[in-house]
Structure 1
Amino acid sequence: MTDRDRDRRIKDVGTLKAIAHPLRAQLYRLLILNRVATASQLADQVDEAPSLVSYHLRKLAEHGLIEEAEPRSGDGRERWWQPASEGLSIHDEDFRDAPEKAAAHSAASRLFFDQHVDMYRRYLEERAHWSDEWTSASDNSEWLLRLTPAELAELSKEMYAVVRKYEESGRAAVAAGDTEGRENVAVHTYGFPFRV
């Protein structure tokens, strides 16, 4: 990847709508995990036709979310893809200035949340098939705090830094061949105000 950003900040509605498609969001997540893949490989993982997956990958590429990768095989017909950045970030303040932008941001946020819930629900349904070690290590916590906006922002920043530390050490270990006992792990956090 050339000139990779740490996280790509999405600021326009077109790009937001491109990633806020259920299959595209799923394909993007798989590319983040796999680092590089072909449409056929991803199609097997999402149980869709390679032609449909290829179409959606091209849409993600049109918005600069993914890019072509160096071929990993001698088959010149295969097109390899990779994320164009380490991840994505979407901030509410980038979509507040017009009702249609705010509506697009809300719709995208709901889609991502629903996908997070589906991932966790799948884990709960499959939990009996995971080892005691994995189920003991898994976490589902809720903290109810009294904070200011500045304190919540600082908390989010600190949590982000901790997750990044583990992400980097995990990737380094895998790159060094240390894959024993490693699984994909989802970490979802939500920090938001509410009134009772």
Structure 2
Amino acid sequence: MTDEQTRRITDLGTLKALAHPLRSQLYRALVVARTATASQLAEQVDGAVSLVSYHLRKLADAGLIEEAPGTQRDGRERWWQPASDGVSIHEADFGDAPEKAAAHQAATRLFYEQRSELYRRYLDERSTWAPEWRAASSDSEALMPLTAAELTELTGELLAVIRKYDEQGRAAQAAGDTEGRQSVALHMYGFPFRA
């Protein structure tokens, strides 16, 4: 995934479209699946197909997802895919008006809560995973004295490593190398705090 393949959300309408609890779940599920129908996604989020279809159309209206070309098997199925390899949202793009800042903060909190829930679910189910997956899973914290410029540099270097592994995994998967592959979530936060 390159920066060009990641869509930077800079407008309030698109942010609000994604920052809906069900829509952000659907978007995440679609990024993992790469293509899916409303019925398939409804099973994953335990929702009604009609409600999921409505929210998928809202994501499409915002340009976050699109119909997947060449996947329709009959006239009733509508297959969807992400419109980019991911999205990025930066506080700097929403700080020029109170409404935009509040929407950005609410979206950030929602995404954090959903990521936390994903990790809590893993912790609850950890014993059901094979030993090699339990050993490979990590939970760490680093407390470092950095400048803002150093944190920016560190984040860029870590994202480059993540992109490398994402591209390798997707290429292998596209080539049919699916043995032993699982969807993996890697959450990374870098922020200042007062001791």
Q: Is the pair's TM-score, using the shorter chain for normalization, greater than 0.5?
A: yes
Task: Name the structure 1 match of 2:56.
Answer: 57
Task: Name the structure 1 match of 2:113.
Answer: 114
For the 8 Å contact 2:72–2:78, the answer to whether it is kept is no
More off after superposition, 108-117 vs 41-50: 41-50
Task: Name the structure 2 match of 1:129.
Answer: 128
Question: Partners of 1:104 and 1:74 in 2: how far apart?
Answer: 39
Task: Name the structure 2 match of 1:158.
Answer: 157
Question: Partners of 2:4 and 2:76 in 1: how far apart?
Answer: 29
Identity of aligned residues (%): 67
> Once the 2 structures are TM-superposed, how far is the Cα of residue 45 of structure 1 from its aligned partner?
1.2
Task: Name the structure 2 match of 1:187.
Answer: 186
Amino acid at match of 1:37: A
1:176-196 CA-to-partner distances (Å, cap 9, x unmatched) read 111011111000000000101
For the 8 Å contact 1:116–1:188, the answer to whether it is kept is yes
Amino acid at match of 2:61: E
For the 8 Å contact 1:71–1:78, the answer to whether it is kept is no
TM-score by length of 1: 0.96
- Give the unaligned 5+ runs of structure 1: none
CA RMSD for the aligned pairs?
A: 1.1
Question: Partners of 2:94 and 2:72 in 1: how far apart?
Answer: 42
1:115-168 CA-to-partner distances (Å, cap 9, x unmatched) read 010000000000010111001000101000001111000000000000000000
For the 8 Å contact 1:43–1:53, the answer to whether it is kept is yes
> Once the 2 structures are TM-superposed, how far is the Cα of residue 61 of structure 1 from its aligned partner?
0.5
Task: Name the structure 2 match of 1:6.
Answer: 5
Task: Name the structure 2 match of 1:40.
Answer: 39
Task: Name the structure 2 match of 1:85.
Answer: 84
Name the SS for the 2:5 alignment partner: coil
Amino acid at match of 2:28: R
Task: Name the structure 1 match of 2:142.
Answer: 143
- Give the unaligned 5+ runs of structure 2: none
For the 8 Å contact 1:39–1:54, the answer to whether it is kept is yes
Name the SS for the 1:142 alignment partner: coil
1:44-70 CA-to-partner distances (Å, cap 9, x unmatched) read 111111110000000000110001112
Amino acid at match of 1:15: T
1:58-111 CA-to-partner distances (Å, cap 9, x unmatched) read 000011000111242431221111100010000010001011111000000000
Amino acid at match of 1:131: A
Amino acid at match of 1:44: E
